[in-house]
Amino acid sequence: MIKVLLLVSVVFSIWYWRNILNRMPADKRRRFLWASAFWGILLGSVLLVATGKMHWIGAGLAALIPLSKGLLGLGLRAWPILRFLGRFKSEPSQFRTDNIFVEVNFSNQKIDGEVLKGDLTGRRLSDLTPQELTALADGLRAQDRESYLLLQAYMLRAGLGGQQHNDSSEGNSQQNFGELSENEALQVLGLKPGTSDADIISSHRRLIQRLHPDRGGSDYLAAKINAAKDKLIS
């Protein structure tokens, strides 16, 4: 008796489903068929598990089959959005002079660098003691003005007591430094070769906002960023 009722229920369900499908507009049938397949596999899996003919893990995997197409379609629709959002992810900005290299990474809000010449060659700036940083700054102040200003910018940004220099004698403008190469300009703005002018302008604006002297940057970094944009858009 139970089997007869179950058979009648199945036949009635198929008849009712076909009626709905026949009355449905053509543009909605495809989605309805996929939804029907999902629920059909799900209900069939539940019945098999209830009767002991399928393990519950197998039922779960079977239910995922009709979902795979939907997930793929969702991923394809989301891909343009992900690409658009990816444009706002900037590479670390790199500043290099004869004696100092500094990298500002905005993804983790960290700044670090390396000594390129002298007794401390190869040492990371974050590994130097305050006394070593001060001694390095004193030595650079006399022999390499640009490296000194970059080191001061690092110390300011890292909260290590660097000093801001605003008078013109300190050489805040880029014209007092060596001219940037195109590769150096790209590194300053955190960009790659082939970047469009629109992306250059966007990166410049973002960096100026983040490294402005009023936000923990320095006049030197601002001048360098401006010079990098001028180099790439002339």
- Break the chain into its structural domains and give their ranges: 2-82, 93-232
State mean pLDDT over 175-190.
Answer: 79
pLDDT band at 172, cuts 50/70/90?
very low
* Backbone φ/ψ region at 89: left (φ over 0), alpha (ψ -120 to 50), beta: beta
State mean pLDDT over 63-71.
Answer: 55
State mean pLDDT over 15-21.
Answer: 70
Distance CA 62, CA 7 (A): 23
pLDDT band at 220, cuts 50/70/90?
confident
Distance CA 152, CA 158 (A): 10
Task: Judge whether residue 13 has pLDDT over 80.
Answer: no
Query: Element (H or E) spanning 58, and its range?
Result: helix 56-86
Sign of CA dihedral 141, 131, 92, 202: negative
Tokens 């060596």 belong to: 178
Find out whether 139 and 117 touch, Cβ atoms under 8 Å: no
pLDDT band at 158, cuts 50/70/90?
confident
What pLDDT score does 157 carry? 80
What pLDDT score does 121 carry? 95
Between 62 and 2, where is the model more confident?
2
Fold observed for domain 93-232: Helix Hairpins (1.10.287)
Distance CA 126, CA 111 (A): 9
Task: Judge whether residue 171 has pLDDT over 70.
Answer: no
Mean pLDDT (the chain) is 74
Amino acid at 106: F
pLDDT band at 99, cuts 50/70/90?
very high
Residue 36 CB contacts under 8 Å (≥ 6 apart), including other chains: 17
What pLDDT score does 215 carry? 67
The CA–CA distances, whole Å, from 162 to 126, 152, 211 equal 14, 5, 15
What pLDDT score does 137 carry? 92
What pLDDT score does 195 carry? 86
- Segment 213-216 long-range contacts (CB within 8 Å, at least 24 positions apart): 213/164, 216/156, 216/157
C-alpha closest to that of 152 among 167, 163, 144, 166: 163
Identify the weakest region by mean pLDDT among 59-73, 163-177, 211-225. Answer: 163-177
Segments of the chain assigned E as strands:
93-96, 100-105, 110-115
Between 122 and 12, where is the model more confident?
122
pLDDT band at 65, cuts 50/70/90?
low
CA 81 from centroid of its chain's CA atoms? 13
168, burial (CB in 10 Å: exposed 0-12, middle 13-18, buried 19+): exposed
pLDDT band at 159, cuts 50/70/90?
confident
pLDDT band at 15, cuts 50/70/90?
confident
Rg of the chain over Cα atoms, rounded to whole angstroms, equals 32
User: Is the overall model pTM greater than 0.75, yes or no?
Assistant: no
